Amino acid sequence: MVVIDLGSFLGVGMVLMQLLRLLTVVTLGSLAASYGILVWRVDKRGVYFAFKCAWYTLFDPLHRPYLHGVPNS
């Protein structure tokens, strides 16, 4: 019967959890920065600019021609 020392695995789990935590913080920070830039760049003269931001966030990547290999004219 093989006996495995579980004490050696405890440090690996902590390192893995800290790595996932770091990736989560970096991802959330980049999302916050990108949405902040989106709100800063959108035309805020209208009363419905929040809906315009939502439209750009949800549907604009689907309509960009360069995502489908068609060059801009």
3-state secondary structure the chain: CCCCCHHHCHHHHHHHHHHHHHHHHHHHHHHHHHHHHHHHHCCCCCCCHHHHHHHHHHCHHHHCHHHHCCCCC
- The tens digit of pLDDT for each residue in 18-71 reads 999 999 999 999 988 888 887 787 777 878 888 888 887 777 666 655 555 555
pTM comes to 0.55
Which of 72, 30, 38 lies closest to 57 in space, CA to CA? 38
Question: Can you give the pLDDT at residue 61?
Answer: 62
Residue 8 has pLDDT above 70, yes or no: no
